[in-house]
Structure formats: structure tokens, C-alpha cells
Structure 1
């Protein structure tokens, strides 16, 4: 008996999913445990594993298309099984939905060619506003083109890209963060001479695959500073302050669709080399959309580093429920005063964004002071 496979809810906040790739085609045999498709959610791209066996008889969502959770994704059944009655019901449901989308009345029949109908839907033109020039008033392709030129002239000068599920979720999350948490910012400057030397000495002892980045050292220093200031490792909710017993650091990573924040858990309990390997792995899988939802959840503090792009300093939006995020700029050569003498030194600027509901200026400043001490004498993060 044929079984309808619906778009699964692969994360707790997922409302729609986009099929990135089908691993099977109609007519293929599928078995329980097979990866049927790759689906993009609001958080990541995940493999969709089926729990039934049979023949893939129907695909309801093409690659690149998006549909709602619980909408039909595919039909699996026995070889040669007649599923025409199921498809007929689906088409009827789809036609009714299209009538709603285009604002049509049930008692008004609109004649339109298939090509024109497809164009109108893609562009978003309400076809009941168009007068057809075809036989018996039928709407044809040139009517859609004329309507578009007449009413949407500005569209000719712009390209548009449909928001991905991840991009929409990023927008919602950052908007909520910015306007629910009252931000303030602490700016500081670090003498990075010893930081550079520390990394150089470490990497001289490591293989090419093991090389440590400055960001790895910064993340370890952030965790060590949180040990000294546990009142910074907190979250806010409407009833209480949550003081975390674990230190999970989110690492902001740029991907094609925006930004994702994989989480390195229990950073304070891991060696610098282990932290570095884990960051490399999660950055690689984030950019290839293979990171799992549970790997981007439950951070207690976030680090965003744009130094590799030559950005001197910047501010970041807090990644709630975190109450702080550290923004790290590029290391620049600058005149510095050392022992009352002006010398050329390496300077790195950092910004700490804080949620003023829970972290006041003194508390944030004390944390920054400890972080600077670790970064200006980085060998201390190993103890």
C-alpha cells in the first residue's frame, strides 16, 4: 500500500523546508534507513532518512523548491501500484490553493494558457487583473509580458533572490536580539606582540594540519576569562538569571546564505589543539551545510572575528540567549608607547557587546581586563 512521505520537521523552529537534492529518482527502490533527500531547514541542510521501504513512485517537490512542513514530499509504495487517485487529490488541492493565492472567485472562470499561468505565478501577478487578448479573452504569454512592463517597470532594473530558509531565520533571530536586548559596547586595544610570538612558537612544533590560528587562542582565552568571571557566563529570561556551569563558545561563521554559529562545547576543559581541530571541522561542515542543528545550539558566549578581512574594529549583535559577544578586529602595526618610548607594535582592537539588563559596565569592564591579560601574555591560558 502506498505511503505518503511528508516534509519532516527537522528542527524545533522549522516551518518550511527546501529540497536541495534528491538521492533517488522515481522508479528507484528505497529501503528503510536510506537517505532520500537533502533538505535545507531554517538552521542547516540535513540528510532526510526514511523509515519505510518500497519503490519511489512520486516526487512532490522538485530540487530547489520549498514547501511547508507536513506537505507531501514523496510517495513510496509497491512496484506498479496505482497512485493516480492520490495524485488527483493532490492536484485538486493545489488548484484550490492557487485560486486562493491569485484571489479568484469560484464562480468566475478565467481562461489562461499554461505558459501564461506559470509566468504569472512566478512573477506574482494577480491574473484576475489581466485582460486576455487571446481567443475568447484567453490570457496568453504576451498579456503577462505587457502587464509586467506597464506596472512593474522598476523590476526591470533589479535582480531579486528568494530568501532561503536559513536567511529568513537569521533575520528573525537578529531582529529579535537587537530589539529585545539593550546593547552597549566596550572598546579596547590589545598589544598583540606576545600573541603573535606565542602562535609562531606553537606552530613551529606542529604539523601543517595541526596549525593553530589566532582565533583558536582567542577562544581559549575567552573561556579562561569566563572561568574567572562566571557572572558573565549567563543568560536572561523573564523570570530569572541563568548562570551556566558549562562554557560553550559559539563561533560566528560566514556562509553563502548569511551567518551560522557552530558551538564548541566545554571549551574550558579542552586543550588548545583539540579546540583548533574542532573549530576547523565545524567551520568546514558549516560552509558545506553539513552541520547538525544540535551543533549550533546552547552556546553561552559568542566570538565573531573579522580580522582576516582587514576590519580594524566593529560591533556585533548579541546572539541571544547569550548576554555577550566579542568582536575581534585585525592586527595592525601602530606606534605604541613602551617604557615611555614610541615604538612600532602590533595592535588588535576588540569590542564587547553586552546586554545591559544583566551585565553592567563595571562587570563587562572587569571581564575585558582579564581577557586582555590572557591575550597579552597568552602562555597563561595553558595553565
Structure 2
């Protein structure tokens, strides 16, 4: 019997992906574990391995196809002993992917989207209608189809993956609190509900989703900008995901900011001594070369261990208190940015942190990071000092409760013992989720960070 090869879900929130390249062609023998294709998600390119043995009878979705839904048939494998031509001829034709929505499409024309996807699936009506339904009045609830999950009369939006997970776990999807765009229930909400968190009481009112600023229509674009004065560059999956997550962050997380100045003179001296003492290989290259950012990551990790009440994530069901300091570090890449995570950074050596960051940065720019290497974490560091930025504020990346924005190190006049001296100073700003980290707690955390930066020998203990 022919075996269908399906579009895999490469992360819990993935709903669509781009089929970048086929590494096998029709008629090729395939063994279990063979890499047969490359799939592009919003932030990475992943290899797909075959789970069965046989002959690739038919490629249904050609390479270069974008927005292929998860679990769609992308190819057919003829098992050993089967007629390859018959298996290929009997393969069902996949539905042609829909063209990407217009860049100027209004939100009313879009379906709700799940976090981490370039677009959501539009729910089809149960049967076609010959006459268009009358448009509901502004503010009136949307009509609910028979069998559609509802809560207090309101339709519950959920991703297909979340619905399937809830059904398998025996959870009423209408009781799960959604944290996706427009309050949509996504996979991580169901995972949280399995442990008893994020469930609404039966009488609870549905939470309103964040308001999304409307996109400009074609008519508005033409009215504002002369024709020929601009070029339309379609959004890729990464840019859409960044926009979704940061909109969610700024509209659902109450931010506040704490700024402090750190004296880098001792750190720079220690860095110079450590780099000078680094062992060299046979070619004379040092085994490591520490950057200021490596010290910043280490200092933030230890500071979270010293102030454990700030090493948390907010959830509706309760506060997650993390045992380790998993530090996400913002890395710029073509089309956006990504935050690979240094796991248990409080126990990692500075040379290990340096090596990991060099590896992450290289693979991030090539879009070769695995989802587990950039998902999760307990906080993040965003450093724009190399661009000469003195200070700035960064947007919290859920599920983190904090993010540290790091400015450039520069010589400034300071007052010490009543005298004006020159010191190398660095301004850092901590963005905090006020639901999880109060002002005094945030001040304690950034104070612990300053102490470690100004006394780097304390990171070695």
C-alpha cells in the first residue's frame, strides 16, 4: 500500500512551511533516516528524514512551494514490492497552495493567525450559499456554526493543532485561555491546560483579544504616496512572526523600564588579561577570544540566580519559577532577528558562552538553528552597543518576564571621591513585565547585574 509523506510540524506552533528543496527525485530508493527534503520555517531551514523505506513514487508538492499546511500530503512512497507507477498514479493531487495575501489587505479579510506561522487557515463554510449573508452590524458577535466551540455564546478561535491536541487530551477547547493573536488558542495554551493552568471557569467571560492596528488599504496607499515612488516588498514568514509576537507583547504585557550605568574599566582589564592568557593551537590561533557581550550574558545569568524571584514567567495559572538561567541573545540575520538561547548560563564558563554564541550566530544567519535552540528561555539580552547606540528600550519576548537592552561602552566624565575622572561607562535598560516583576524586584535584579559587571572576578567564583 502506498505511503503518504506528510508536511511535518517542526515546532509545536508551526502550521505552515515552505518546501525549499527536494533532495530525492521520483524513482529514487529511500531508506529510513534518509534526508529527503528541506523545509523552511519562519526562522530556520530544517531537514526532513524519511520514516519508511521504499521508492519515491510521486512528488506532489514541488520544491519552492510556500505556505504548505502541516499534515498535507507532499509526496507518495511506494513500499518494497509495490508497483511504483501504480502508486504514483493513484496519488491524490494536493490542493494548490493559496497565493499570499495582499500586503495591503485589511484585517477583516484575514483569518486569525497562530503564533509562529506565516498565516492561518481560513475556516470554510459547511455548505456553499448562493446569496451572500447579510453583513452583521458593527460590534455584533460573529455567527457561530453548528458544532463550533463557544464560550458564553462567543466563538472560540483556536488553531487546528490546538484543537487536535485538546481533543486527544479530553480538554474542552472553550475553557482554554488563548494567548495567541486576538485571544486565539494555540498549542502552548493546550499544553499549559494539561497541567491545570490557563483554564477558564465555566462562568468566566471570554478574554478580549488585543486590538490590532488596521493595515493601509490600496486606496489609502495611493492617496498618501505617488505611484512609482515606492516598491512593495512582500512580508516573509519571519517578518510576520516578529510583527505578531511584538504586537502581542506590547499590547498584553505591561512594560516598565529601569536604566542604570555600569563602569566597565575592571571588566575591560580582566577581558584583556584573559584573552592574552588564552592557550594557542599549532597555528598560533587563541582557543577563545572573549567579548564584552560574553561577560554580559554571564552576569545576567548569575544575577537571576541571586534574585530568583525575578527568574520567572507569567502564566494565568501561576508563576513559573525557573531553576536555571537560560539566556536568549538577540542575533541579527537577513530579514529580522532571532534569539538563540544559552542554556544554564550560570554554570557555563565564559569561554563556553563565547564558543556557543559564535556557533549560534553563524548558524542563525544561515537559518540552520533548531527550534529547541531558540524557543523558551527565561530572559534575553539585546546589545546594540556595537552600533554606537548609547541607550534604548527593548520589547519583552514572551514567555520572558524581562529583557536587558545594552548600550555602547564609552568614556564619560564621572565624579569619584569629589573629583571628576574619566571612566568607560555603559548604560543598560531592563524592561520588566509588571505582572511578574515589580519595581523593587526589577531594581534588585539590575543592581545585582551592575555589581557583577563592575566586579568581574565575582563571576569566576
Does the aligned pair in 2 maintain the 1:19–1:65 contact within 8 Å? Answer: yes
State yes or no: 1:319 paired with 2:323: no
Q: Distance in 2 between matches of 1:274 and 1:224?
A: 15
1:245-300: CA deviation from partner (whole Å, max 9, x where unpaired): 22111111112231211111111122222222222222222222221111222311
Q: Distance in 2 between matches of 1:95 and 1:162?
A: 17
The Cα of 1:164 is off from its aligned counterpart by 2.8
Q: How does 1:180-259 map to 2 (within 5 A)?
A: 180-206=252-278, 207=280, 208-259=286-337
Q: Distance in 1 between matches of 2:338 and 2:291?
A: 19
Does the aligned pair in 1 maintain the 2:309–2:321 contact within 8 Å? Answer: yes
For these two proteins, the number of residue pairs brought into alignment is 334
**SS of structure 1 residue aligned to 2:431:** strand
Aligned counterpart, 2:93: 90
Q: Distance in 2 between matches of 1:189 and 1:96?
A: 52
What TM-score, normalized by structure 1, do the two folds share? 0.79
What TM-score, normalized by structure 2, do the two folds share? 0.67
The Cα of 1:22 is off from its aligned counterpart by 2.1
Query: Which is helix-richer, 1 or 2?
Result: 1
Distance of aligned partners of 1:96 and 1:364 in 2 relative to their CA distance in 1, 3 Å threshold: closer
Q: Distance in 1 between matches of 2:63 and 2:226?
A: 30
Aligned counterpart, 1:81: 85
Aligned counterpart, 2:437: 359
Backbone CA RMSD of aligned residues: 2.9
**SS of structure 2 residue aligned to 1:222:** helix
Aligned counterpart, 1:69: 70
The Cα of 1:325 is off from its aligned counterpart by 0.5
Q: Distance in 1 between matches of 2:287 and 2:368?
A: 21
The Cα of 1:48 is off from its aligned counterpart by 0.7
Q: How does 1:1-383 map to 2 (within 5 A)?
A: 1-66=1-66, 67-77=68-78, 80-83=84-87, 85-86=89-90, 89-90=92-93, 93-94=95-96, 156-206=228-278, 207=280, 208-383=286-461
Q: Distance in 2 between matches of 1:267 and 1:31?
A: 39
Does the aligned pair in 1 maintain the 2:402–2:433 contact within 8 Å? Answer: yes
Whose Rg is larger? Answer: 1
Distance of aligned partners of 1:339 and 1:154 in 2 relative to their CA distance in 1, 3 Å threshold: same
The Cα of 1:33 is off from its aligned counterpart by 0.6
1:125-176: CA deviation from partner (whole Å, max 9, x where unpaired): xxxxxxxxxxxxxxxxxxxxxxx9xx98977544333333333222222221
Does the aligned pair in 1 maintain the 2:76–2:88 contact within 8 Å? Answer: no
